[in-house]
Amino acid sequence: MVYSEFNPETGNGYIVLKPNNSATWRFNMMVVASLALLGTLISTFFLLQGLWLIAPFSGLEVLALLGCLYLCARSNIQTEVIKFSPDKVIIEQGRTFAEKSWEYHRTWAKIFVRKHKRRGHPDQVVIRSHGQEVELGSFLNSDDKEALVKKLRNIIYR
């Protein structure tokens, strides 16, 4: 997702980049709970048949699913904010707060679209200044990256 606001009169603005998040944490927990209930019913049936070894593996399966969903949800809250002022471009990356930050002079900042080395992979959007470069929106799909490049070029090269 690419969201932006820019005031051409003052030269101030920002672009917010977030990955597409198809499911909420509540929905993920509902899926885990329903699969845990189903697994419990099935393992109880086999437990009554004398096959007790199935029950622990059913629990491990639910724990593995919960762990995978947690990792996916954690990566989906990654956010990048690109702030613009008349003379600066500030890039902040993080989850709940800015964990990393870069500051460039707006005049020297250049936007590059680097083709990926492997066919079928999305291009990389890079901002570079004075030998330093940062990839922007590594989690975005191709359409969102194209929209990001248009917005960046429209704002920076104004």
Q: Give the containing element (helix H, strand E) for 3.
A: strand 2-7
Check residue 50 and give its pLDDT.
93
Full-model pTM: 0.79
Cβ neighbourhood burial of 124 (10 Å; 0-12, 13-18, 19+): middle
d(CA 40, CA 124) in angstroms, rounded, equals: 45
**pLDDT tens track, the chain, 158 positions:** 898 888 888 889 999 999 988 888 899 999 999 999 999 999 999 999 999 999 999 999 999 999 999 998 888 889 999 999 989 999 999 988 889 999 999 888 888 888 878 887 788 999 998 889 999 999 998 889 989 999 988 887 76
DSSP per residue over 97-116, as a string?
S-SEEEEEETTT-EEEEEPP
Q: Give the containing element (helix H, strand E) for 142.
A: helix 142-156
Rg (CA), the chain: 23
Which of 89, 83, 123 is CA-nearest to residue 106?
89
Check residue 74 and give its pLDDT.
87
Which two structure tokens, joined as six digits, stand for 88? 């600066």
Check residue 154 and give its pLDDT.
85
Interior/surface letters 76-103, b for 16+ CB within 10 angstroms, e for the rest: beebbbbbbeeeebbbbbeeeeeeeeee
Indicate the class that CATH gives domain 2-20+78-156.
mainly beta
